[in-house]
Amino acid sequence: MILESKFFVAGGDHFSIAKRGAEVVQSFGAAEIEVIGSDADKIFEAVQELRRVCEALRTVSFFSGRKLVWYRGVSFLSDAKISRNEAVLDWLQELQNLFEKVPEVGCLITAGVVDKRQKFVKYFLENCHSEILDTPKLGGGERYVLDLAGRECKKMTPEALQNFLQKTGDDLAVVDSELAKLFLYVGGGNPIAAQDVESIVVDARAGDFLGAINLFFEENFEIFLQGIRRYFSYNGEGRPLLAALQNRVRLLVQLRFFYENDRVESISKSVLERLGERYGAGDHAGPGSIFAQNPWYLGKLLAIAKKCPLSAWIQFQIKLLAALVPLSEHYDCPWSVFENLYFQLKIMRTNSPATPSPGSKIS
């Protein structure tokens, strides 16, 4: 019997899993969503997480509508040492009991690769709305790109499609990000041509830093780890990436300043123009100025800037400056320096209050 409010999604591609999980959350229509992220690589961490999930399932929604608990990014269901531990098994049994006792509370589990032979994995697969997503195969991106283009009522010439996939490869995170930019760039009902791809799509496999920088703001360490190692498989030098990351944080510092002092909640062309007038950008709005950036791009960065106060972003920029020394000392494994920076940024986001100071609002 399938439990109508319980969902289980697993597979080998983190991006596909996260995207499918977000779709399930949206379709469930819960008034309250409680997300419990997983990063357990030890037995006691898995126990703590499962205890939190069970407590969340027992807690009635504060709202009148439905509640959904999302246990996100579970990785230990393929680890025999953890998933067969007695304490972990006890809590998995408690989770199974709650699935059947509280049908009114939804639960979504998104996991990485799982061992289908394990008792509780079998239970999730047989009793939940379950999906095991295949890892995208090399060359499979063509159908994916055309499907997304079709949903946006866009057409691509064969040359444009070929050039696009040559630049992005089959990394779905890069494909989605670059397609969004491409759709916005072309606009209207015009077909996407090869020249459009050359003008706007970055080459993710030939030294471009955009995808690698975006990894620093991922909540899931496994996604970051895979991406940063992939970046260094094509690039042996870490200093250009560090410089590009410093430039990104420079924009985040300014956006956070606007958020705290001007109460800027979103970025549009008109908002950017009014900010430029307030801060006299007309005299020094060169190509590197924040006032010369794309408003759509700045809007995405503003969502990140809101997560930490201005002082924390400034401190992180100082850490980036200091990273030049260890980067020169770790020339044989430069990714280790960036892994350390990732954890410093994650700690900063976790420990920092992000409430803006009052100020005059620009909208």
pLDDT tens, position by position, 324-353: 888 877 666 788 888 889 888 888 877 766
Answer yes or no: are the C-beta atoms of 78 and 114 closer than 8 Å: yes
Write out the chain's pLDDT in tens, 363 residues. Answer: 688 899 999 987 776 788 888 889 888 876 788 889 887 778 998 999 999 999 999 987 665 568 899 998 898 888 668 888 999 999 999 999 999 898 888 999 999 888 888 899 999 999 999 999 876 554 556 777 888 888 888 888 888 888 888 777 766 667 777 888 888 888 777 889 888 888 777 666 555 567 778 888 877 787 788 778 777 766 767 888 888 899 899 999 999 999 999 889 889 888 888 888 888 765 555 556 788 788 888 888 999 999 889 999 999 999 998 888 888 776 667 888 888 898 888 888 777 665 555 455 665
Provide the CA 244 distance to its chain's centre, in angstroms. 19
Cβ count within 10 A of residue 149: 20
pLDDT tens, position by position, 16-64: 788 888 889 888 876 788 889 887 778 998 999 999 999 999 987 665 5
Domains in the chain, CATH or no CATH each:
6-133 (3.40.50.300), 141-206 (1.10.8.60), 234-351 (no CATH)
